[in-house]
Structure 1
C-alpha cells in the first residue's frame, strides 16, 4: 500500500472547496476515488467512456465493480440510482454497481431499492469513503462486509457503524491498535492507518494516512483535544497529528517530539507492538506446554484476517487451517536470494510477523520456528536483543521492518490480513565471525544477502534489495529485480545498449553488440539494467538454452550455440571463482 497522507490532505482541500468550484470538485473526486483504490493495490480506472459513462471501474478478487460518485449538497434520490441500474444492464451479467453519495440517500431511494427486484447495487456514503481513504478499513474488507449484508440480509446500505460494531464489555472495536476514552465518554480508536471516533452510538473518521505505531493522547495544550502520535522505525521520524471533528479537519504532521516522554519516543525503536488494551480483544488462547494446540477465539472478530472469519473461499485456505490449528504458517519465497516469513503470529499471539533472509530456506524455517517456540514458552525477545540458541554458535536479533517494504515482500500477508498488514520484524544473523551486516569487515554474503529492512526503501543502500523494494511488485520478468546477470560495464553505465541475451539454466547474460568479444564484463542486477534498457522487460526468461536478439523493440529467439554457451561459462567462472 502506498502513502495515503497526500490523498487525505487533498481530500481536506476538496471539502473546503479550496480554489475550485463544486463542479470542479466533482470532477476531481473521481480521480481521488481511483487513486485511493490504487493506493491499496486495487486496479481502478477513472471515467470509463462506453455505453453510459462510468465514473470509476475496478476489480476485487475476480469481481467487477462500476462506481458512480455524487458529491452534492442534496442526498441521492431514486433517479440517481436508476441511472446506475440502467448502466448495469448494459454490461456483463455479474457486474456489481456501487453508488457513492457524500450526502447520503433519501428515504425514498432506500425504500425503492429494497423493494425492487434482484439487488445489484451497493450504497456507500461519506463515512465509507473516509474509512478507506484514511486506512481505517481497507477497501477489500469494507466491500466484503457490505457484500455480506447485501447477500445475507438484502441490505444495499449498511452504515460504517454497523460494519465496525463494538465488542466486549469495554465496547472496543475489532482489530484496533489503541483506544482512548475522553471524560465525556467519546471513544477514539486507532485501527489500520486511521483513527475513528465513536460518540452517541455512531462512528466518525477523524484521522488517517498514518504510518508506524499509532498511540492516542489527550492534547496537553488544548483541553479535550486528541492527538495521534506515530512512532516509526526511527525516533527522528516520529510525528504527531492533531485530530479534529472530521477527517477533513486533521492537522498537518508535526515532527516536533521534544515534549514526548522518553518511553513514547523509544517505543518504535525498540520494536514495541501497540498493546491491545481491551481484554476482550485478545486474539487467541495459547497453551504454554511447549506444544501447539488448536486455538479458540476468545472474542468475536478479533482482527480482520481470514482466520478470524474462518474464510476458506480462496487459495489461501491452507493459511487459515494453519493459523487455527498451529498458530501460524511459514512461507518460503524462492527468489535469487530466498527469504522466509511467518503468517499468523499477529492473529495468534499479537506479535509481529517474522521474516528472515539469505540462508537456505529449510534452515531459516527451522530458526523461525525455534524463535516462535521460545516466545511462546518463555518470553518474546525485544528488538536488538541478542538471542542465543537459534543459530549454532552465534546470536541473532530482530529489528522492525519499515512498512515501505511491505508491498514488495509480503503480498500474502496482505491477503491473509485482508489489506491491513501488521508489523513485521526481521530476524538478522551475523557472519561466521560474529559481525553484523552493518559492522565494518562483515562478509559480503552477510551484507548483501540480507536487506537492512529497518531502513525505508529510499534510505536503503543501493543494491539488489533496494531494487526489489522499488520495482516489486509488478516487475514484469519471471526473475526478481535482484537476480544477478552477466553484462558489460558499457551497458551498466549507459554507454551501449543491450542487444543480445543468453538464457542458460539460471544464468542470464545481457550483452551489447560486441557479444562475447567485449573486454569489460562484470556482474550486475537485472533490475538496474532494465531501468537503462526498458526493452529487457519484454524478455521471456523461461526460454532456457536460447539466445535472444533485439530487432527494433522485439526479441527474436533461437537455440543457443555451443560456442556461446562455452564463452558464457568461461566468463562466469572467471568472475565468480
Structure 2
C-alpha cells in the first residue's frame, strides 16, 4: 500500500513538472461544495519564473483557469504582477487586483502546492480578486453583499477564517464559557452553527452569541471553517484533530 502511495505521489509530481515545462504552470482546481466557493491556483510559477503563485476564488472554474493562464502568459513574457495595483485584460470590462496571501492561509488553500515544494510553504502567493458589476471590490462599502463570501480575502483576518460576518449569531451553551472545551460542532442545513462541549447539550443551557466570540474563546475552532451545510465535526479533546461526517441528527438546540 505504501509503495502504491509512493508511486502515485511520484506520478502526480511528474505530471505537475510536465505541465510547468509545457505550459509554464500547473493548475489545481477545487470544485465548490454546498457551502464554500470553488477556487483555482497555480503551481510552478515560483519554480520556473521566481514569481508568486496565483489563486482565484468564486468564478466558474473555466473562467478562473483562463484568468490564471492569462497571468502565466504575462509572466512568461517577463511581466511581474504586483499586489495592490489595478490590472485590465483579465476580465472583459473589469479591472482586477492582486493581494499578498498571508502564510497563515497556505495550509487551508495551497496545500497541494506546499506538497509539491517539498512539504514546505516557503514560496510567495498572490490572490487575484475580481469586482462586482459596479466595479466595487470586496473591501468597498458598496460591494454587492450577495457576493461578499464568494472570495475570502487572504491578506487579512487570520484570526477569523469563517465565511460569515464576525457578528453572525451562533448557538452554544454556558459550559463552553465556563471552561469546558468545545468538542462538537454542527453546521445545520439552514446555515446555523452550533458549538457544544457535550454530545447532548441541555436546551436550558443554551446561549446565542456572536461567532467571533467562539473563535476568541478557542482559536482552534477556525480549523473547521470549511464545514459544509448538514455536516458535523467532533474531537475527543481540545488537542485532538477534528473529524467530520454528514450530520444525521434530527434534534437541534434551536
Name the TM-score, length of structure 1 as normaliser: 0.31
Q: Displacement of 1:500 after TM fit?
A: 8.9
Q: Is the 8 A contact 1:503 1:543 kept in 2?
A: no
In structure 2, how many angstroms separate the alpha carbons of the residues matched to 1:343 and 1:533? 28
In structure 2, how many angstroms separate the alpha carbons of the residues matched to 1:410 and 1:533? 19
Partner of residue 113 from structure 2, selected from 384, 396, 413: 413
The residue aligned with 2:245 is 542
SS in 1 for 2:245: coil
In structure 2, how many angstroms separate the alpha carbons of the residues matched to 1:381 and 1:540? 39
In structure 1, how many angstroms separate the alpha carbons of the residues matched to 2:90 and 2:133? 14
The residue aligned with 1:444 is 145
The residue aligned with 1:333 is 30
In structure 2, how many angstroms separate the alpha carbons of the residues matched to 1:509 and 1:383? 34
SS in 1 for 2:138: coil
Q: Displacement of 1:410 after TM fit?
A: 1.7
In structure 2, how many angstroms separate the alpha carbons of the residues matched to 1:500 and 1:413? 29
C-alpha change, 1:399 and 1:529, in structure 2 (3 Å) is closer
Q: Displacement of 1:507 after TM fit?
A: 6.2
Q: Displacement of 1:340 after TM fit?
A: 1.6
C-alpha change, 1:430 and 1:523, in structure 2 (3 Å) is farther
- C-alpha deviations, 1:42-91, integer Å up to 9, x for none? xxxxxxxxxxxxxxxxxxxx79xxxxxxxxxxxxxxxxxxxxxxxxxxxx
Q: RMSD of aligned C-alpha atoms?
A: 4.5
Partner of residue 510 from structure 1, selected from 170, 174, 194: 194
- Structure number with bigger Rg: 1
Partner of residue 95 from structure 2, selected from 388, 395, 406: 395
SS in 1 for 2:85: coil
In structure 1, how many angstroms separate the alpha carbons of the residues matched to 2:13 and 2:164? 27
C-alpha change, 1:500 and 1:368, in structure 2 (3 Å) is closer
C-alpha change, 1:543 and 1:530, in structure 2 (3 Å) is farther
In structure 2, how many angstroms separate the alpha carbons of the residues matched to 1:372 and 1:437? 24
Runs of 5+ unmatched residues, structure 1: 1-61, 64-311, 465-481, 548-559, 572-577
The residue aligned with 1:320 is 17
In structure 2, how many angstroms separate the alpha carbons of the residues matched to 1:503 and 1:341? 29
User: More displaced, 314-323 or 448-457?
Assistant: 448-457
SS in 1 for 2:115: helix
The residue aligned with 2:56 is 356
Mapping of residues 524-539 of structure 1, within 5 Å: 528=215, 531=218, 536-538=233-235
Q: Displacement of 1:386 after TM fit?
A: 1.5
- Is 1:423 matched with 2:124? yes
Q: Is the 8 A contact 1:386 1:397 kept in 2?
A: yes
- C-alpha deviations, 1:336-384, integer Å up to 9, x for none? 2332210011222222111112333332222211222233347344332
SS in 1 for 2:137: coil
Runs of 5+ unmatched residues, structure 2: 4-8, 196-200, 222-231, 236-241
Q: Is the 8 A contact 2:173 2:207 kept in 1?
A: no
Q: Is the 8 A contact 2:170 2:192 kept in 1?
A: no
Q: Displacement of 1:434 after TM fit?
A: 1.1
Name the TM-score, length of structure 2 as normaliser: 0.63
